[in-house]
Chain A
Amino acid sequence: MNSSNDVDKLDVTSVAYTQCVVNLNDEDIRIHSRSCQNLEDVLGGFGRAYQELARRHVDHAYSEENPLIISTGLLTGTPIMTGLRTYFSSYSPLKVSGTGKPGAMWSAASGKFGTKLRWTGIDEIILEGRADKPVLLHVKETESGPRVTIIPAENYLGKGCHEKIMALKDDYPDCHFAVIGTAGENYDSCHFGSVGCSTENLLKSGDDKCRWAGRGGMGSIMGYKNVLGIIADARDKKITLSDDIKELNKFIATGPGSRKYREEKKGGLGGTWSNYAALGKLNIVPENNFFPPANSNADKLERDQVEKDFVVKGENCFRCAIACHKNVYEKNTDGSRGKFLAKFDYEPLNLLSTNLGIHDAAMATDLVGLCDRYGMDSISTGVTIAYVLDYNERHPEKPYLNGARFGDYEQIRELLILTGTGRCPEIGQGVKRLSQSLAETDYAMHVKGLELPSYLPETNPGYIWAIAGGHMSMQTYGLLAADGNTSMEYWVNAIVNKGLYMVRDDLTGMCKFSNLDGERLSKAIETLTGLSISEDELRTAVRTAFIRGLWLERKQGFADADYELPGQVYTRTNSNIQTPLFLTPKYVSELKQKVFERFDEEIEKLCA
């Protein structure tokens, strides 16, 4: 990103970014410098990528017309702590409207791939068309600028994400990688393949510790395009930090925003895992397909319980002191750390254990580890398997697939392996399509085709307006537990004026776990890029990008019936839940009307 800005009011057209367009059909590769047209272009991430998607006419996710856009944010690869994000945007094979058209989607990952990509001199890659054989993209920094080549990749075919990265590491030392696993390779029978990005820890330790762009099947899109991975090949940059940035990084590492994710010894709560305890108090930890029983088992997988038999270590991405990766290792007889098993975050852990009726940490590490190995989104995998188990509980007379029910570890494991290797298209199509095919949609836990994260839909009507996954693009999932407020006015305000701003760092290149306030972020942008963007301008750009996301849903045929919570919220009351049960069809209908009154006006203005 180059800028010639030297005036108070930013002239966005003076800011340029380097875009590489790769046509996989004829191997034509073009690298351009492009001028920004608005502030979303400047900030990058999905703010820029969605404008590109808006120009396309795509009726099927797996079609040559559907691009895959790999982009960075303005702060990706800069010295600010957590400025590491890479975004993968496309029309999703999973998010789908009632008309059958795919919805626009992005997914983001940290690790070191984004930093290395930015250091090659490329800010954004657009993959067009489809290669006729498996290929890799090699993006290399050279003295005359970035160079991009397409490399045959048949010898990497059939390997899991981690296995691919370790093989690539031998062939391309000092590089970082974004790859798909077998799930992405089998895109036709697994729509929720993810993209794994390498970390320094992974390359050094040899352990399976990717960072994931998991949501929405971006790895499956990459698989459809026959691109098995991207190699970012640039020398590491030695950067001297200014005092301002040192101070800011110290604040990110020790301030209130990252406490949740830090280790206890660093004044933290020990990671998103701690949600188990907080949600457990109200009996709202998803269990048995989002229907917690009165005698919840959620406490069995709280961190202190797991640490009795395993070693848990907080580890980090490149130059980040938050150490949010809670890696689980075997515990040796002397208490020391043994073999690496899996990384536990709240979502993968819950959805691949408690929500499947499994309450054993060893089994949980196995299922989470397997899901990563095949390169599948743990949320989609877990929720779709939970649906199958629920179906089998309800229909003991006609068992589906292998007949697995809640707690059947071996059979659940079998379903997961079959899905990850492309041999279970029933689960691989995601819970929306699966439930429609079985004509039982009420307990399919999704909104707009995207499986729900680990917060009960009874507690979050905001899911309806999440544009890229329920806990990454609408920050309302914890509100009922925190505030207990069920008034219409409260929820309209929470969605329209607050929740949507959580997508800010899906533009900027920062990780959401930095949780940096707008004032400091604005100052950081100025210090690091020389661009003067006020806090208000940042908010406006984020809002515009979000509204464009809603507009793109309209464009793809998302209509009133798509903006709905799972039917079970209304049809099967769970009296075990200790938060107010306030979501009735009438309430949600009124909420939709009031929220869309606000958003529709902005959508129309944006289109005009």
Chain B
Amino acid sequence: MRLTLRLSPSLQLAPGHKLEISLPGKTLAECLAQTRRRFPEIEQTLWRGQQLNPQVLLFHNNTLVREKDLSKRVQVRDVLDVIPAIEGG
């Protein structure tokens, strides 16, 4: 299975960095782990050491992801959005 990860543009670290990537894996956790090896600019946003950055939020399709949801299996056409927890207005 592959998961499409989409980053909110406000999390883009520099122009030209990808906002959308495809990640292989059976579960959300497996797919996310791929970012550690293959996408250093996204790794910086997503991870704090071994933990997911608490100041970014993940939405699996239309549902906010909690820690316990990371073992969920990925289905065809699944999307994982990454957005900042803090944004103003």
Contact = CB atoms under 8 A, between A and B. Distances in A.
A539 B84 contact: no
B82 interface: yes
Contacts of B26: none
B83 A259 contact: yes
A518 B87 CA distance: 19
Given A482-B55, A482-B84, A517 B61 contact: no
Interface in B1-31: 6-10, 12-15, 19
A286 to B, nearest CB: 12
A78 B54 CA distance: 38
Given A257-B9, A259-B8, A275 B62 contact: no
Contacts, number: 96
B63 interface: yes
Interface stretch (A260-268, A365-373, A545-553, A596-604): A260-268
A269 B81 CA distance: 12
Interface string B69-89: 000000000000111111111
Contacts of A266: 62
Interface-central residue, A259, A275, A539, by most chain B CB under 10 Å: A259
Contact of B7 (A256, A278, A345): A256
B19 to A, nearest CB: 5
Interface residues of B, number: 30
A418 B8 CA distance: 42
Nearest to A517: B9
A272 B83 contact: no
A556 to B, nearest CB: 26
Contacts of A324: 89
A346 B85 CA distance: 13
A429 to B, nearest CB: 25
Given A257-B9, A475-B10, A482-B55, A272 B89 contact: yes
B10 A515 contact: yes
Nearest to A521: B9
A453 B89 CA distance: 9
A256 B55 contact: no
Nearest to A472: B88
A278 B55 contact: yes
Contact of B88 (A255, A455, A497, A535): A455
B89 A347 contact: yes
A324 B63 CA distance: 18
A279 interface: yes
Contact of B85 (A255, A261, A278, A516): A278
B87 A260 contact: yes
Contact of B15 (A256, A472, A484, A518): A518
A351 B28 CA distance: 39
A471 interface: yes
Interface-central residue, A274, A278, A454, A475, by most chain B CB under 10 Å: A278
B67 to A, nearest CB: 14
B89 A257 contact: no
Contacts of A518: 9, 15
Contact of B87 (A255, A277, A478, A516): A478
Contacts of B9: 256-257, 515-518
A497 B89 contact: no
A133 interface: no
The bracket for how many chain A residues form the interface is 35 or more
A512 interface: yes
A22 to B, nearest CB: 32
B53 interface: yes
B85 to A, nearest CB: 4
Nearest to A502: B10
Contacts of A271: 89
B89 A346 contact: yes
A233 B88 CA distance: 32
B82 to A, nearest CB: 7
Contacts of B8: 256-257, 259-260, 515
A395 interface: no
A271 B57 CA distance: 14
A519 B13 CA distance: 15
A256 B6 contact: yes
B89 A513 contact: yes
Contacts of A346: 88-89
A340 interface: no
Nearest to B79: A256
A577 B7 CA distance: 29
A277 B57 CA distance: 12
Nearest to B55: A482
B61 to A, nearest CB: 7
Interface in A464-508: 471-472, 475, 477-478, 481-484, 497-498, 502
A281 interface: yes
A272 B87 contact: yes
B61 A275 contact: no
B15 A260 contact: no
A478 B84 contact: yes
A482 to B, nearest CB: 4
A260 B48 CA distance: 22
A472 B62 CA distance: 28
A347 B88 contact: yes
Contacts of A483: 55
A275 B85 CA distance: 7
Nearest to B53: A482
Contacts of A477: 86, 88
A453 B88 contact: yes
Given A256-B6, A482-B55, A515-B8, A267 B63 contact: yes
Contacts of A497: 14
Contacts of A517: 9, 12, 19
Given A256-B6, A256-B8, A256-B82, A478 B88 contact: yes
7 contacts: A259-B8, A275-B86, A482-B56, A483-B55, A484-B48, A502-B10, A517-B19
Given A482-B84, A517-B9, A539-B15, 6 more contacts: A347-B88, A455-B86, A482-B53, A482-B85, A513-B89, A518-B15
Cβ-closest 9 pairs across A and B: A267-B62, A478-B86, A278-B85, A256-B81, A482-B55, A272-B89, A471-B88, A517-B9, A256-B8
